[in-house]
Chain A
């Protein structure tokens, strides 16, 4: 191990964490060449491939590496939160219609594609180069949205020529689609405000309706990871890198293989930014249609959009020097502090919004980034609840049809392409995200601002 492993958790979460191999994975990540500080793990850590999910690792530019396993297959999987001008009581009578419109306008599940948005090769190139701005330029959102997306909705250095034709084919019909598994678009309301001043800065108030979208780069990103992982396995041999697990395959940042992955990863990340931008547009249209009002009367505005599977160049103070590092966040969210120039101007006084989805039956959280995270965790916090039951286990304990009724009894209207997916995503399959958020808040990595409870959800 080149550095220590550091896990943020309490005793209750540690009991689960010790039950899988994620701690060994924290150790393995500590072997990466050029790793700085520590191999970090957030309290929602669980077993991944190579890196644990919930892992953060930063590497130096001169002797460090980049590892696709430190990003994951779903490049720039992330979360976007829309706040609305509507209170829960105003939406409640038409909630089922809102969810049905979202389900109709945002394709979900396996094989989902948009009939209204088949990309040409030139379009796809534009998406990969310009990210969310590509969608805004086509009327799918507002220019103001871009200021409230991590990296402005476009990661620099994207090179579509380094994305395989096969990856392009997988993405060509999937822009503006949700996908399946744990991806969702959820209508929520602000159930509790913990920090009124920061909530006000984020434009949040009790009872307000919000919409959370969780999705990523779809098949395009999956294929970019698959293609480059293969190259990296060869690069490990070529550069004589000694690793305890082949799935940590990596290449020096300043190598043809490392540069190629970063450029392709940025292209996939931009596809993901555009994907969430297109879906958000259709969510706005869904509310307008179901409520019988103009889209601009819904007051649905982007609060923030964060990545939680990404590798990015960011600057930190290391041993009293401003140092550029490659920060891998795999199942971890950037949590920048008040005053940071990359925190949007509207939130600069209070810190970057940190969006933490929970399960579909309980709650999600909005937190604010802190100076402590900036010095301890390369400006990172947790990303979600983390599973406590495998998908197979969840399917065994839950009859597929019963989940819809159980969710309705909890006051959550669910529409999904696959009943099996809903069974796998039942609330009991996940840890209580309040426990995870409690650790992050207690450790001072991000502070609790508001809790959001679900009203309706669409899933793959």
Chain B
């Protein structure tokens, strides 16, 4: 077996594992969402399909596939069909650069790291591809020929543009601190004790990123793209069957990726605290635990807080978060360039 074939096989298997894991987690999140919401309201949640309702996502998937896919009158048919794919694909692409674990010792060749690819400009790739997912939302909203969908799409795009600024500026502070935009190198700078995690070096950026992550993935309390009481169901009002499921899948994949990014940037990624040379599977486990913390936070916040008003969201984004993240970036930049350790 030549090296090229071997490398391809390694890469192929890794792709399958990581994408299978991503889609499986996204499916599991649909169940987790219903379970957590139920538990918070003294209910049991889905518990009929399989033990503890574990097979519910499969039942939902089968149902979605067999439902009729309606296209409304006057819809732009081509865009209407494209939009769900456009919403789902960027979220799935972004997971390619997330480092899930360190180099795996028994894998030979160049693909030894536990990520689809180990890109030098991983963070830029992730942010630019992730920014594309808004096209699916706004095109879906526009192509549906429905006022509710259009309003939902408009709100989503306005919100995403506003909060992407905060998101990127808070990430930039981390980048300034670690001096690299490769996600793997950002993780490597956080090795050692728990205190070397970026959350303790950049607490403000951490809070800003966490809030902007909610807005970026259109999650409660910022889910104005859907906003049931005003917009029926926002940009996907007119969608049914698997096309609707694609939007949901995209949303949940984006959540998983955002949680992974949160872990990577602020919680030391796959590093096991106080144990730098931990075996690779423990590192992966550490990554998964940290990521599921944030995934749980997504659900937890959704079932706790009421939705904002849209003008409040915009005011918050532009008048509070943007100046704060700019100031944070300025301070961090100054501290780094003058070689001063930040007081916190």
**Is this pair of chains taken from one and the same complex?**
no
